[in-house]
Each structure stands twice: as C-alpha cells, then as structure tokens.
Amino acid sequence: MSETGQAVLDAIRSRRSIRQYSDDPVSDDDVRAILEAGRWAPSGLNNQPWRFGVVRDPECKNTISELTRYREIIRNAPVIIAVFLDNDAGYDRVKDCQSIGACLQNMWLATHTLGLGGVWIGEILKNKERVAEILETPESHELMAVFAVGHPKHQQQESQRKELSELIFKEL
C-alpha cells in the first residue's frame, strides 16, 4: 500500500471524539481546511446540500451551549461549526442525510489530521430550531449537527468497536 493510503487508514483508525480542549485558538487556515474537507464530501447527484455556520464569538457560543447537555464542550471549544442541510438543495431525504454524514466525517478526519480534536454533537438537535434562530439561517436550513473543534487537552482518548464477526451477517 502507498504511504498516503496507509496514512488515510491510520487516520480513520486513530480519530477519536475529543471533548476537552486547551485554550489555544484554532487558526483561520485550519478552520478553512476543515471546511474544505467537508466541501469535498460526496453527495447524491453531487447536490452538495451542506451549509456551515462557523461560530467563534464566545457570547454566541455560550448561548448555543445552553441548548445541549454537552454545554461544557461547546463553551470550551474555541470554534464550533454548525452543519445544516439546505432542504432547498435536497432531493431525497435519506440520501441528503447520508451526504451530510459524509461531510461531517470528512471534517472530522481533517480535524484529526491537522492535529486538532473534534466531536460531533447530535444531542443538540432536540433544539435545532433554536440554533437556526440564533444563527439567523435561511428558512430552508435544517441543523444536522454541531461540530466542536479545538486543540486536544490530552491524547489518551480510547474507544471500542464491535468485532467484525458480529457485523458481517453474511459472506457468500
């Protein structure tokens, strides 16, 4: 396998949810690189239904943080990226949501590759209308996730997965 190929597999394997951050700011270049990775995600019919709200402003971040039980993550992350589905750009609900998932995974892998840490916050979707109001999004935008990014406070995050044998239900 090429070195690049191995690096991609290593990034997929070593990426973790990072929920604690140092006080170091995240550079504009890094935020741009994360958004670029999201932009290059695949989508059905290449409809690219993702839209991004980037929030660094502490006051705005604090207001949004009150909408989730994971408020500390959002408060402490130097930057959060709210990822929306633009329903005006959508054509098939399932496929549009799958595309948003691909977009977020790209962003997450880019974050990890840049030496930063991120976490996908889905719990806040219970208040997705409120987040949209705060960010004054167009009517067609529906919140899909908030992605929090910062410099990891530590590197010891562990995670587990089911064995492949539990997941492959048939192999002919």
Task: Give the interface with ligand FMN as residue ranges (CB under 6 A).
Answer: 16-17, 19, 70, 119-123, 157, 159
Least distance between ligand FMN and beta carbon 105 (Å): 8
Dihedral through CA 11, CA 13, CA 16, CA 21, nearest 10?
-30
Amino acid identity for residue 153 in this structure:
K
Least distance between ligand FMN and beta carbon 16 (Å): 4
CA angle in degrees (0–180, nearest 5) for 152-42-87: 95
Of the pair 162, 170, the CB lying nearest ligand FMN is at 162
Sheet strand arrangement including 79-86: 50-55, 79-86, 141-150, 117-121
Least distance between ligand FMN and beta carbon 98 (Å): 12
Written as six digits, the tokens of 73 are 């993550």
Residue with the closest Cβ to ligand FMN? 122
Of the pair 43, 111, the CB lying nearest ligand FMN is at 111
The residue behind tokens 């109001």 is 133
Of the pair 123, 170, the CB lying nearest ligand FMN is at 123
Least distance between ligand FMN and beta carbon 144 (Å): 9
